[in-house]
Amino acid sequence: MPELMFLAAGFSSEYYTNMKYMVSDEEQHVELLTTSIKGTSATPVAACEYSFPYTDPMSFVTLASVLEGVGTSAYLGGAGLVTSKEYLGVAGSILVTESIRTSLQRFNLGEIAPANPYGTALGLNEAYTLAASFITSSPASNPPLPVKAFPGLIATQVAPTGQGIQ
């Protein structure tokens, strides 16, 4: 989306510039992780196809905020699974960047940037559950994921609510 659309939605030119840096950061994260995986003589998985539901700058930034939050929590939750100190350092450096961007997104949505004094760790299944709805296809060459999305929840009203409450 062009910068003018973001300006018309109330976002600043500085924020739009920051978003371009975020895109570059993500590309560098993919390159670093791919190179690191290849360095262990393993083969990285092929990229999946994704669908992100946004229609305008506000829905884009709102979605980006959610994805950044999930990414931050996933890196924190995965830290205990990393056995190499070298790779833990790499993952930690990415976690810092994800966390900064989570705060930047929250601030630009008019929310309190530091949501709480501690990060929220997500395990593999929790992180995948939140991300799975955006994955539209995965190449057949990729091995099956060692995770499973939790089933959706359906809320059923079993008691009447108070007057004016739905």
User: What one-letter code names the amino acid at 8?
Assistant: A
Domains of the chain, start order: 3-137 (1.20.1260)
Tell me how many degrees the CA angle 36-37-41 measures, rounded to the nearest 5.
115
Average pLDDT, the chain: 90
What pLDDT, on a 0 to 100 scale, did the predictor assign at position 165? 64
What pLDDT, on a 0 to 100 scale, did the predictor assign at position 104? 93
Q: pLDDT tens-digit profile of 98-144?
A: 999 999 999 999 998 887 888 899 999 999 999 998 999 999 999 99
Tracing tokens 């993919």 back to the chain, one arrives at 30
pLDDT over threshold 80, residue 158:
no
- How much is the pTM? 0.82
Residues with Cβ < 8 Å from 158, sequence gap 6 or more?
A: none
What pLDDT, on a 0 to 100 scale, did the predictor assign at position 114? 83
What average pLDDT score do residues 72-87 get? 90
User: In the chain, what is the greatest distance between 2 CA atoms, to the nearest angstrom?
Assistant: 64
Residues with Cβ < 8 Å from 97, sequence gap 6 or more?
A: 25, 29
What average pLDDT score do residues 20-47 get? 91
What average pLDDT score do residues 21-30 get? 94
